A and B are shown apart, each in its own frame.
Chain A
Amino acid sequence: MGVTFDKCDTRPANIDAILSGLDRYNPETTTVFQDYVAQQCEDRTFDCYANLALLKLYQFNPHLLQAEPVTNILVKALTVFPSPAFSLCLALLPAHTQPFQSSDAEDSSDFVESIQKLALLSTLLESAQYTQFWSTLNSDDLYADLVADVAGFEELIRIRIAVEVGKAFREIPAEVLEQWLDLRSREALEKFVVEVCSWEVDKTGATGTVIKVPSNKENEVRSEVKSERVGVDMFGRVIRRGFEQAA
């Protein structure tokens, strides 16, 4: 199962045509890409390569830059962590946004502050500090504004976290998982792991409730010995030499 960064199953044909031609540099396509970002926010899809093309248009035409599509792209990029998507988006933003500086400076614009706030969220997700991620997200109304356009943001993040947990855990204490997923009531947690993840809840253990993750390719952990690949072509030269000398 290959991954191709520049392809996206949900990308409409007209976007694909723009991306593969020189129209991707045409300032007039900015609105097309902006609409496409709005659509991604709505139908929960994500097309990193197309979004980068919009950020590039902004990079070349700073007067066209609008804060909302940019922050929406960044919020969408959060929902696919862990991945380089968020950093690749940041790389195309103006350098003065200084994403990893603290946002305390008095004179920084709202736009810069939003970027810095989202970069903090990205750092928390990429460094697997999920509990802090939720507390940060809930700490400031500005975050609620930033993620408002992205349909099902919290749900999407929860699913991503669950996927990562599923790769590393066979069993996980319920109290750990409920903090990571920010599902404060036990019923909500059980509902989520059973219905969304198809995992099991085990209440029989002595140490409290445990969530059991069925075995998958990533969490089974087998030792193996990788043997060397040996092909006939590697011996081509030796064999040829043998013939040359015989002749």
Chain B
Amino acid sequence: MSYEERANAHPNLGDESDVEEEALVNDYREQVNFEDGMSDLDRTTSLGGGSQTQDLQAQLAAAATPLEYQATLETKFASYDNYCSLFHYILNSDGPVELEVPSYYWAWDVIDEFIYQFESFCRYRNRVARSGSNEEEAQLLRENPNTWGCYSVLNVLYSLIQRSQINEQLAAMKRGEDPLAYAGEYGSRPLYKMLGYFSIIGLLRVHCLLGDFSLALKTLDDIEMNKKAMFARVMAAHFTTYYYVGFSYMMMRRYGDAIRMFSHILVYVSRTKNFQKGGNSYDAIAKKNDQMYALIAICVALHPTRLDDTIHSALREKYGEQLNRLQHGGPDALPLFEELFRSACPKFISPTPPDFDNPAINVDPVDHHAAIFMDEVKNTLYNPTIRSYLKLYTTMDLKKLAGFLEVEPEKLRSWLLINKQRSRQVRWVEGGLLEGEPVNANDLDYALENDLIHVSETKAGRRLVDWYLRNLARVY
């Protein structure tokens, strides 16, 4: 289904279309118009003639096509060589190359597949070393340490970004200037522009897979996170971006921001579900969808907050019982936190060749990151208990409460400090994704006067505007 068809199909979804949906349609229209404008620029003629072009066309198509699941190591090596020569041709020819790309989504597909193959190669290599069973493959991998090397992968992504001047272009767009003035010889062409743009998203993903969460967020400095951003025109790109940004926030303990990211994209998906069905990326999106609900469940348990109604009911439906257990906290919830984290985290990789001679030393990077995350979960395990008790009182004696909880007063003092510390969080207000202001993220606050706990609660006033607007829309 093309974008045009989707956009036209949308208004027929029902008469109950509410404000947001209307906005979505407008967004899509804008995106479609934008695309129309771009396609004028797209009329390029392919360079040279005859067989060379055909080879190139085959390479272009191959670059965007997933490898078979059972692909052999030789195929993986060959695929790497294919990418190398293709990117070399695109980046290092005399001047920009004139290419007719197979489809509009090609640029995203190519970057997506490139990184996916890097990720699965690294994981495969690590697994071969860990199991130590397949000596033949281990030998082959040992002899080719630079295939799918982290430096070559980053080099491709950074070169595409630099060639296309995409960051300069995006910064100009942010300032309200004409990006073309900054695009240069390469960046003014859709091929380079799109490859450069999606390389930024690709970098976000690679940094996140390598465990560098702050750099992952830093990479997106010039991209504005909203539905009008270029990535929003390719559903898979839109989705991927929010998943990795949300996850990076989560690992930086900015749960409020993580929830905001996940909710944003999940609401978007739930409202546009009807016209994605049947698409070949639907299954992948459905899987990521579930992963993000699992991550929201974790974040909400660590950082209680009010969710969007759509998200809340979907979360109850998918993870209702688990969410209750997570929110209840305590040691019983630990295995569940870990299980959900492992099911929903990215497939972390180690960028360098493993030690084939010592299988035991090659720990799965997913275990590494899960252990780091679980340490924080363990430290904050009693926050829900503390909160549920303090909600009941305005003043309370520390020793009495310790008696209720059957712990030493000393332990309770620690728990009170932890809960207080974790309720302060950095939250994004404006500017780059790494910026933010420390806020009190909890409606419950307290202070101790020796052993006397003074508790106060911030109450949210009634929310009337939303209700009012909905009903207004209904009556006229």
Contact = CB atoms under 8 A, between A and B. Distances in A.
B140 interface: no
Contacts of B455: 221
A223 interface: yes
A170 B448 contact: yes
Contacts of B429: 2
Interface in B146-172: 150-151, 154, 158
Given A98-B368, A126-B376, A52 B214 contact: yes
Interface in A157-206: 164-165, 167-173, 176
Contacts of A48: 214
Q: Which one of B376, B450, B451, B454 has the greatest number of beta carbons of chain A within 10 Å?
A: B450
A3 interface: yes
Contacts of A6: 214, 218, 432, 434
B447 interface: yes
A171 B436 contact: no
Interface stretch (B32-40, B175-183, B321-329, B465-473): B465-473
A123 to B, nearest CB: 6
B105 interface: no
Interface stretch (B1-9, B75-83, B286-294, B412-420): B412-420
Interface residues of B, number: 78
Contacts, number: 190
Contact of A91 (B218, B251, B435, B448): B251
Contact of A60 (B151, B378, B414, B473): B151
A172 B447 CA distance: 11
Contact of A5 (B252, B413, B462): B252
Contacts of B447: 168-170, 218-221
A150 interface: no
Interface residues of A, number: 69
22 contacts: A2-B429, A87-B251, A91-B211, A91-B372, A99-B372, A100-B371, A123-B379, A126-B375, A126-B376, A127-B379, A130-B414, A168-B446, A169-B449, A170-B447, A170-B449, A220-B447, A225-B459, A228-B463, A230-B465, A235-B469, A237-B19, A241-B476
Interface of A: 1-6, 22, 25, 48-49, 52-53, 56, 59-60, 62, 82, 84, 87-88, 90-92, 94-96, 98-101, 119, 122-123, 126-131, 164-165, 167-173, 176, 207, 210, 218-228, 230, 234-235, 237-238, 241, 245
